[in-house]
A = this chain, B = another copy of it.
Amino acid sequence: MVTVDTDKKSMVIEGLILAREWEALVTILKKMPVVEVVDIIKELPQKDLDIVLSHFTTEEQGYIVEDFDIDMQTDLFERLGPKDFAPVFVHMASDVRADLYQELDREDQLRLLPYLDKKTRENVVRLSAYEPETAGGIMSTDFATIIGDMTVSQAIQKVRSDAPSKKMIYYVYVVDKDMKLHGFTTLKDLIMADPDSSIWDIVYKDFTYAEVNEDREAVAAKIEKYDLVAIPVINKYGQLAGIVQHDDAIEVIQAEQTEDMEKFMGIVPDVDGLNYTETTVLGHFRKRVSWVASLAVIGLISGMIIHAYEEALSVLIILALYMPMVADSGGNVGSQAATVVIRAIALGEITVKNWFAILFKEARISILLSVVLGMIAFGKILFLSWETDVPAQFNLLYIAFGISMALSLQVISATMIGAALPLIVKRLGGDPAVAASPAITTIVDITGLLIYFGVATLMFF
């Protein structure tokens, strides 16, 4: 039933767009959540989009443009010009507004400022001064404040009168005349409390906060840990400078996860936070080339090891055939071990302190894996090479046993390296995610070849 309703609605909307019945369309859009309105109108040709937008009040336009991609926002600024864009800009959320302002070039910034009221102007200039990766860079100023000496009913009155312009009033911050933050209360507590009691009776003084220059990842982690709807951000004078809300925390967590995955695959994360489509071909190339090219150069070491055993390989050609198999198995199990360890560090499940327990666990896991993969390798070699000519002094069964043995040792050592590397990087103060899969592959290639030729020398020559 629900699906039919949704389908019917989108058919009606499509019909109105085809018929260019803008006024009727806007009547329907006004009843819908803003994100859905944006989903619909961003698909319209630019000219129609401008017409539809003009049917909303400037306040509504502010809420809509707020949810546009930053490119669409700057395009709209250019089409409308600073004078017509300013009234929309004023109604956008303070954090989004500041990000857009940062995106404009210096000249456009100077063209826009004169059309803003003093309060907005100061707010925009102040917020856009913070580094994008800090609490200041993602905070908004849409919070509600009260003074501690108020009674509960006075406070509710203050919140009521502030609320139209403050989007987040579920937490109400208690400040003094100098805007110094003394605690907070919740709208729930205000409603529940005796109207004549003092705010000081219900304020939480032992609260969690962020500092303006704190890393945004740490801020998101606090919101997550304390299950907060919003966290206050204070400056060095202890004044309330802004708040970071739960939805910003989700965005930060998503962005940091993308960074972690990219780092892990040897991709340099984008500093501007551009997404796949926004990044140019040359940009993608630059993000990927540095690691793979460095690793190709480091691969010289593998090449030198192989060359050192060139003679052995030409005597016993079967050894050359199974080099890639041993290398691949090591890369796979090493990357797996690194993945689980990196993720467990990122989620705070394990710390460098219990590295011994982790490595002991990985050692036991790797022994199990080495038995299974060694047996598969043994079977594979017998199956593939049973009619291969081996020099008279060798025996295929013995060779197959030797190669599988080398592979098993490689699985154990690669797992241990994969698990240890992120711990070492973390211990040295780095981001464990840079213990990247390609790096592990390259390292275990080298150790794998040493094991392979070591075993071969011991057993065959």
Contact = CB atoms under 8 A, between A and B. Distances in A.
Contacts of A376: 293, 296-297
Contact of A335 (B307, B310, B437): B437
Given A265-B335, A275-B349, A438-B335, A373 B328 contact: no
Contact of A324 (B33, B227, B306, B344): B306
A228 to B, nearest CB: 8
A219 to B, nearest CB: 13
A261 B323 contact: no
A229 B226 contact: no
Interface string A306-322: 11001001100100111
A206 B29 CA distance: 10
A306 B292 contact: no
A380 interface: yes
Nearest to A442: B328
A329 B296 contact: yes
Given A340-B284, A343-B258, A365-B288, A293 B328 contact: no
B320 A313 contact: yes
A438 B188 contact: no
Interface in A285-343: 285, 288-289, 291-293, 295-297, 299-300, 302-304, 306-307, 310, 313-314, 317, 320-325, 327-329, 331-333, 335-336, 339-341, 343
B445 A33 contact: no
A231 B222 CA distance: 22
Interface stretch (A16-24, A83-91, A381-389, A393-401): A381-389
A253 interface: yes
Interface stretch (A54-62, A74-82, A122-130, A155-163): A155-163
Interface in A189-248: 191-192, 205-208, 211, 223-227, 229, 246-247
A359 to B, nearest CB: 12
A358 B277 CA distance: 8
Contacts of A282: 368
Given A310-B321, A332-B438, 7 more contacts: A163-B192, A258-B343, A265-B437, A266-B336, A277-B350, A285-B368, A332-B441
23 contacts: A32-B206, A33-B208, A160-B191, A163-B192, A187-B187, A187-B191, A191-B191, A257-B257, A261-B261, A261-B264, A265-B336, A267-B340, A275-B349, A276-B340, A276-B358, A284-B361, A284-B365, A285-B369, A288-B365, A303-B322, A303-B325, A324-B324, A324-B327
